[in-house]
Chain A
Amino acid sequence: MSSDAITIPALQIQEKPWVDLLHEWVTTVDHKRLGILYIVYALVFLVFGGIEALIIRVQLMHSHNNFVSPQVFNRMFTMHGTTMIFFVVMPVLFGFANYLVPLMIGARDMAFPRLNAFSFWLSAFGGLLLYFSFLGGSGLYGAGSAPDVGWWAYAPLTARAFSPGHSSDYWTLALLVSGFGSIGTSINIIATILCLRCPGMKLNRMPLLAWLNLVMAGMVLIAITPLSAAQIMLLIDRYLGGHFFDAQAGGSAVLWMHFFWIFGHPEVYILVIPAFAFLSEIVPVFSRKPIFGYPVMVAATICIAFVSLSVWAHHMFTVGMNSYANSFFAITTMAVGIPTGIKIFNWIGTMWGGRILFKVPMLFCLGFLFQFLIAGLTGIMQAAAPFDWQLSLSYFVVAHFHYVIVGGILFALFGAFYYWCPKMTGRMLSERLGRWHFWLFVIGFHMTFDVMHIPGLLGMPRRIYTYEPGRGWDTLNLIVSIGAFIQAIAILVFVWNLISSYFKGAKAGNDPWDAWTLEWSTSSPPPPYNFATIPVVASRRPLWDLKHPEDPDSLYE
């Protein structure tokens, strides 16, 4: 590194009237503030989505339960799925990308700060629009409230004949609006990474987090577009007499499935690649070694991105495609396991021979590795199309994708919170509460989602508001529900940790983890515009070079 990383003392925070503070946050175009807005917004929706999950689990505790009506149950699982995917995981990942990418590539902000703010507020209003359906969804016919068509909203259930009122319209518009927000943010991430890297930061010196977010943003551009197109087609069907998906008039219900899943499957990787990004930053720091096989990690990510665009119809093995189509999507789906496996091996390679520190961020990453391994293997089972004819649409699938999203993505996210919160707030999160959070969540997670596989194997379909006694499902569902409440308690511990440490956590300092990427060279929280002088880098680990001038990385790359 040719110039010293210059640290700036944290700005003196003056007491301001709350109206001014609010005005600052609402009108901000600073990437760090927008990142935090994204994250807080996602946490609020996490609570909503979590409450919906708990309502579902109470209803399913035992057979023939009457905790909620079938209509309410159907709204709950629709809203839970839509909320968690579009208004929790996507915004929280965009939040971290927004906050971290400019800092890690030595930039002062995103390439288009105003577009950034615009995209955030679009997504935010999308979420509000979805939840406004609880009040406004009844429409002229007085039917329905929140959408109840499932988060895939399969045609023709969304036709006006089957979904009167405006509940489906709120779902459509919410996704359309937030989808435009996602596209805006992705364009911004791509432009930032391609154009604003600091001197010396060649593409092959970028931190993996920046690389993976670049790939993720590219995938968003490809995947959200067909979803948005399908939403517009659905609106045309519902209000302008179109027949795209109207089977009664010669339209095709299967067409909607293709549109939805050519978005829906890349979406899984859009969510999981940023989780991979967190692992690729956290595991090396807590193993005290550089990432193993950096170029292979980049190549594997790009490979996942391409292959994952050709696997969508594995969600449709029961739809009645011919045997050649089923075989094609079986092999592409199995093939995507190869680069994913390479990633897991490389993380193990990173830990191998290292000096592993079991701080809370690392604990969550280790949880990710074990759970994502299992999620991947149950994914391989479902790639075997005939096996999937039994597993698809059952609780096995529900367990599988929660293993990916909760056991994988959410664990990585918690790791990211414990790792980067000190940078964002200037204060450490409590290790003690963090360990409580981790172990409670591990216990709750495994009680819920390990056990949830079994009712699926015993013939329990998903999306049923109640079930018949005597099929061996009762006890299993009770255990699943208890696990869900343990997870909820763990989340409360986490939220308490966030709040209490914000006010009285230990001071973090610039570089609490003895890490190697540029964000740790500036103050915590970083000042507006991040760096007083733009840093110049000579390797992938600029702070390692600074700390070990006798043996810098730049000698080996």
Chain B
Amino acid sequence: MFVLSSLLLAPKALAQHSQTSIFAPQSTPAKSILDLSIFVLSITGIIFVVVFTLLVYSISKFRAKPANANSEPAQVYGSNQIEMAWTIIPILIVVVLFLATARVIHAIQDAPEPAGAVEVTAIGHQYWWEFRYPKLGIVTANELHIPVSDPIHPTPTFLQLLSADTDHSFWIPVLAGKTDLIPNHPNRMWMDPHRTGIFLGQCAQYCGVQHAKMLLRVSVDSPQDFAAWVRGQQQPAVQDQSVMTGRQVFEHTACINCHTVSGTPADGRFGPDLTHLMSRTTIAAGAAENTPQNLRLWIDDPDAMKHGSLMPAMKLSDADVDAVASYMETLR
């Protein structure tokens, strides 16, 4: 019963503690959604107070009392004037709400793409994210890097959303509302983060067994950091002779059917691109920190870390797992 008051108050208090609260917008779409939300919350809040008061009043005022126990109250069948009133007022409220809503729909969905925009193609896979920057020639996974957008020289990021298998949904609550990734149905969304930092989210559309561990990280970088990151990602993979054994194991098992390491025979596209694996802070779509131990556990038996993951355990010997893990650790 107190849901509306808690709706209005509690999340504000919790916003500081949660990195994924819709009440802490960091970009224009999320901000205009929040403004509309506050407007809608206020109107529904007023309706709630009015009707709640009417209900409580009529329940307490017209309760049966011993004084009137034996008499039936006046039998009233209705009133056309009253019916008109409580039909017309809601119609007016709906018109106002609709106009406010339509304005924000148009502002977000039909926003033109400025010249300085960064273009990213996000492809949903069971259960990880592929990010391709067609203009920059970069392919990466799970952790999206985008530049901060200065209001004077905006550099928003426009995402083309695709899916390789089932439906997914891209949701970073502080940056924008969610948009689905649907096979054979390209979608578009955009965001222009106002400050740097790491922003979290996850797949919001049920996509299969490990839907829960299809996490998202967006790193919003300063222009300099973003340029440095782009340069790093554009390099081919580091070739380190000291981990040749691991590389050979990697290239002689089925790993290369699914994974790409640029400049080597590995050119699979079913799994994440590993060319710059060590530039990422997490593995398995955010299921674990990218540490040597976790990497080794993951290569040895993905199912133990993320049950239902589509990456098979290759049944490698301990020595081979160590060798492959060492090879991975050189892919900076």
Q: Contact residues of A with B, CB < 8 Å?
A: 69-71, 74, 148, 150, 154, 156-157, 162, 247-248, 250-254, 287-290, 292-296, 318-320, 322-323, 326-327, 330-331, 334-335, 337-338, 341-342, 344-346, 348-349, 351-358, 366, 369-371, 373-374, 377-378, 380-381, 383-390, 392-394, 446, 449-451, 453-454, 457-468, 470-473, 548, 551, 553, 556-557
Contact = CB atoms under 8 A, between A and B. Distances in A.
Contacts of A326: 105, 109
A394 B18 contact: no
A355 B59 CA distance: 9
Nearest to B306: A70
B178 A389 contact: yes
B97 A334 contact: yes
A387 B59 contact: no
B36 A322 contact: no
Nearest to B170: A318
B178 A290 contact: no
B94 A331 contact: yes
Contacts of B304: none
A352 B21 contact: no
Contact of B308 (A70, A254, A330): A70
Contact of A318 (B20, B68, B179): B179
Nearest to B25: A390
A290 B202 CA distance: 53
B51 A373 contact: yes
Interface string B197-225: 00011111111111111010000000000
Given A293-B83, A334-B97, A471-B18, A374 B48 contact: yes
A464 B212 contact: yes
A323 B111 CA distance: 11
Contact of B77 (A294, A378, A386): A294
B97 A459 contact: no
Contact of A466 (B14, B165, B207, B212): B212
B104 interface: yes
A380 B93 CA distance: 11
B245 to A, nearest CB: 35
Interface in B127-179: 161, 163, 165-167, 169, 171, 173, 176-179
B201 A380 contact: no
Contacts of B209: 70-71, 74, 148
Given A253-B167, A338-B90, A366-B59, A154 B206 contact: yes
A288 B70 CA distance: 11
Given A157-B166, A327-B105, A373-B55, A334 B177 contact: no
A69 B36 contact: no
Closest 4 pairs between A and B when the two form their complex, measured CB to CB: A389-B177, A459-B20, A247-B183, A464-B212
Nearest to B87: A342
A392 B40 contact: no
Nearest to A473: B18
Contacts of A330: 98, 101-102, 105
B20 A471 contact: yes
B115 interface: no
B78 A458 contact: no
Given A156-B165, A366-B59, A381-B40, A353 B23 contact: no
A257 to B, nearest CB: 9
B204 A292 contact: no
Interface in B1-31: 1-4, 6-7, 10-11, 14, 17-23, 30
Contacts of A162: 126, 165-166, 208
A337 B72 CA distance: 33
Contacts of A457: 7, 11, 21-23
30 contacts: A69-B307, A157-B207, A162-B165, A290-B75, A293-B83, A320-B161, A320-B185, A326-B105, A327-B98, A337-B94, A341-B90, A351-B58, A351-B62, A353-B62, A370-B1, A370-B55, A373-B52, A378-B3, A381-B41, A384-B40, A385-B105, A386-B101, A453-B7, A454-B10, A457-B11, A460-B20, A462-B206, A472-B21, A556-B75, A556-B77
B315 interface: no
B204 A323 contact: no
B97 A380 contact: yes
Contacts of B71: 355
B108 to A, nearest CB: 6
B212 A465 contact: yes
A344 B203 CA distance: 38
A346 B80 CA distance: 11
Nearest to A336: B94
Given A254-B185, A344-B51, A354-B73, A323 B106 contact: yes
Contact of B1 (A293, A323, A352, A450): A450
A538 B148 CA distance: 75
B237 interface: no
Contacts of B20: 458-460, 471
Contacts of B72: 288, 355, 548
A450 B58 CA distance: 24
A32 B205 CA distance: 43
B6 A467 contact: no
Contacts of B319: none
